[in-house]
Structure formats: structure tokens, C-alpha cells
């Protein structure tokens, strides 16, 4: 865990930026078992670094934890901190994946960033930390290719 108390169970300020956001981790009570945990954020937003206009994405984060789990309230605050952050789709998606991976050091992590069209073209971005462990059930991320994505 961090040296500061968890954000869970207490009032917290919205972080002004992803760099200022605190991600909390908690011990994995099933550290002796390989399993997949999934977080889905269907309303992720950031800003275009050129125009300043909002961009929207559906993020799906899958990971196989080792000793640590990401605490969900801190993850929600971290993801919300991108609302005023200017970066391209690729930068946001990989930044989220790497930050969680660096915090947790899981067996494996992948993130799918399914971005809504900018200029009429959706941009989907995928990153993973390496090969998944053998014998892990990895469900499809469940986000259809773009056809008025929902």
C-alpha cells in the first residue's frame, strides 16, 4: 500500500491531472490463484491536444493480479482526471495501462481503448504487458467494432 491512507471511505478531491492522481493498491486476498479481474470504463474522456475538444472512449482493463489489486475508487478518480488532459488516443490508453502495471506488477495486464470517431474515424488502441499466463480464461473484451458503438 502507499504511505498515505486509502481514498476509499473518505472524501477526496478530484485530481487536476493524471500526474497528480493517486492510485491506491490493496493486498490480493487470492494471491495464490490465477484469475482475471476486469474494469470497464464506458465513459472515458480526455481532450484533443490540438483542438482542445473532448474525446470519448470505452476502456476495458483486464489483469491477472499477483500480490496487489487496484482499489476501484482511486481508479475511478484517476480515469476521471483525464477529462482536462490533452493527449492523443494512443498516449492516453498506453499511459493508463502502464501506470496500473507499474503500481501492481501483475502477472499480466492488457488494456483496450475503443475510441469514438474523430474526423469520422474511430481509433482503437491496445496494449499488454506480455503474454498472458497459460490456462487463464480471457473473455473477449465485448466491445464491437465501430457501428455507432454502444
pLDDT tens, per residue, the chain with 150 residues: 445 688 877 778 889 999 999 999 999 999 999 999 999 999 999 999 999 999 999 999 999 999 999 999 999 999 999 999 999 999 999 999 999 999 999 999 999 999 998 878 889 999 999 999 999 999 999 988 776 655
Instruction: Give residue-wise pLDDT tens across range 7-51.
Output: 877 778 889 999 999 999 999 999 999 999 999 999 999 999 999
CATH of range 35-128; options 1.20.1090.10, 3.10.310.10, 3.30.1130.10, 3.10.20.90:
3.30.1130.10
Dihedral of the alpha carbons of 130, 131, 132, 137, in degrees to the nearest 10? 130
CA atoms within 13 A on the CB side of 86: 6
The 3-state DSSP class for residue 11 equals: coil
Binding residues: 70-72, 89-90
Q: Are 33 and 56 in contact (CB under 8 A)?
A: no
C-alpha cell at 124: 482503437
C-alpha 135/C-alpha 12 separation (Å) is 39
Binding residues for substrate: 70-72, 89-90
C-alpha 25/C-alpha 41 separation (Å) is 18
Q: Are 23 and 105 in contact (CB under 8 A)?
A: no
Nearest in space to 131 (alpha carbons), one of 108, 101, 100, 98: 108
The 3-state DSSP class for residue 25 equals: strand
Please list the active-site residues: 48, 55
Global pTM? 0.91
Q: Are 125 and 93 in contact (CB under 8 A)?
A: yes
Amino acid at each position: 500500500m502507499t504511505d498515505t491512507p486509502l481514498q476509499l471511505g473518505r472524501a477526496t478531491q478530484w485530481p487536476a491531472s493524471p500526474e497528480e492522481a493517486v492510485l491506491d493498491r490493496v493486498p490480493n486476498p487470492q494471491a495464490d490463484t490465477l484469475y482475471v479481474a476486469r474494469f470497464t470504463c464506458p465513459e472515458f474522456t480526455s481532450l484533443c491536444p490540438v483542438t482542445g475538444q473532448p474525446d470519448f472512449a470505452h476502456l476495458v482493463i483486464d489483469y491477472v493480479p499477483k500480490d496487489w489489486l487496484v482499489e476501484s475508487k482511486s481508479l475511478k478518480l484517476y480515469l476521471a482526471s483525464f477529462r482536462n488532459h490533452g493527449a492523443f488516443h494512443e498516449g492516453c490508453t498506453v499511459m493508463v495501462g502502464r501506470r496500473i502495471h507499474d503500481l501492481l506488477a501483475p502477472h499480466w495486464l492488457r488494456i483496450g481503448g475503443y475510441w469514438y470517431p474523430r474526423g469520422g474515424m474511430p481509433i482503437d488502441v491496445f496494449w499488454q504487458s506480455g503474454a498472458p499466463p497459460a490456462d487463464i480464461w480471457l473473455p473477449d473484451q465485448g466491445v464491437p467494432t465501430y457501428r455507432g458503438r454502444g
